[in-house]
């Protein structure tokens, strides 16, 4: 389900984010403000950590844009529904091309190139990911598609403005997108249907082998969801405390 994917993406980001500053090209610029004044030279700033968590949580929903009838396709109303229809057609239907290692790599590389060369394109990606993250955790009004979309648009705009005012850098954007997509694929490999991880090969992977979790049942709702929530809160506290 959406909230499980989003929480798994957030947890994955919080687990790996501290290690990203060791990568070439990220260490020197992480934690820099818009005027290039160093804030934290060897770690992501608190604002970057929050931004990355939102982006990775949203990216963990990105593969499901191949499902026009999913709630997530209504995030920004007709705009995301049309996008979902296009993704569904291009990918061959639900749980095909977008649920693969190739898609995760391509999405991350594309986001990295946008962040590197086109600030407007980068901002569109960030806004979409924030919107997907907020919608996946239940932001909206049941039965009110357009009203829910408007609420989501407003909250997404506020979040993006706050991050922009904090001078967040996005050199890590591609990594966050890939990590979120991979978290989604791993999650779906735990279900009965599995995923074509090595698409275009059609074989579907299931983890653990031949033991599929039933989506939306008691285990996911009563156990997995709460456990992931505690993990995300705990990791947030652990990552942010050294900054204060």
Query: Is residue 196 within 8 Å of 95, Cβ to Cβ?
Result: yes
Q: pTM of the predicted model, to two decimals?
A: 0.85
Residue 208's Cβ-side half-sphere holds a number of Cα atoms within 13 Å equal to 1
Tokens of 237: 């506290």
Three-state DSSP at 56 gives helix
Q: Taken in order 190, 194, 196, 201, is the CA torsion positive or negative?
A: positive
Nearest CA among 47, 8, 43 for reference residue 27: 43
Using an 8 Å Cβ cutoff, are 187 and 8 in contact?
Answer: yes
215 closest CA partner among 192, 185, 183, 197: 192
What is the structure's pLDDT at 40? 35
- Written as tens digits, the pLDDT of the chain (244 aa) is 778 889 999 999 999 887 776 665 554 444 443 443 333 334 678 888 899 999 999 999 999 989 888 878 888 888 888 999 999 999 888 889 999 999 999 999 999 998 888 889 999 999 999 999 998 887 766 667 778 788 888 999 999 999 989 888 888 899 999 999 999 999 888 887 889 999 989 888 887 655 566 776 777 777 877 888 898 889 888 887 765 5
Q: What angle do CA 63, 191, 140 make, to 5 degrees?
A: 50
Instruction: Return the pLDDT at 170.
Output: 87
C-alpha–C-alpha distance, residues 136 and 226, integer Å: 15
């Amino acid at each position: 389900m959406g909230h499980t994917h989003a929480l798994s993406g957030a947890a994955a980001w919080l687990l790996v984010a501290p290690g990203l500053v060791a990568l070439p090209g990220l260490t020197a610029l992480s934690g820099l403000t818009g005027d290039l004044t160093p804030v934290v030279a060897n770690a992501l700033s608190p604002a970057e950590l929050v931004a990355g968590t939102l982006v990775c949580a949203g990216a963990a929903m990105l593969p499901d844009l191949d499902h026009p009838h999913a709630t997530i396709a209504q995030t920004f109303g007709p705009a995301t529904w049309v996008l979902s229809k296009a993704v569904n057609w291009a990918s061959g239907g639900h749980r095909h091309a977008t649920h693969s290692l190739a898609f995760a790599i391509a999405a991350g590389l594309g986001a990295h190139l946008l962040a590197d060369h086109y600030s407007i394109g980068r901002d569109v990606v960030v806004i979409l990911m924030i919107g997907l993250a907020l919608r996946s955790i239940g932001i909206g009004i049941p039965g009110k598609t357009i009203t829910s979309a408007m609420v989501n648009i407003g909250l997404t705009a506020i979040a993006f403005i706050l991050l922009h005012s904090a001078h967040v850098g996005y050199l890590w954007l591609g990594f966050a997108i890939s990590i979120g997509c991979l978290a989604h694929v791993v999650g779906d490999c735990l279900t009965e249907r599995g995923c074509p991880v090595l698409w275009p090969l059609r074989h579907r992977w299931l983890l653990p082998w031949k033991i599929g979790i039933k989506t939306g049942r008691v285990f996911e709702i009563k156990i997995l969801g709460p456990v992931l929530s505690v993990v995300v809160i705990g990791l947030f506290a652990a990552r942010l405390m050294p900054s204060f």
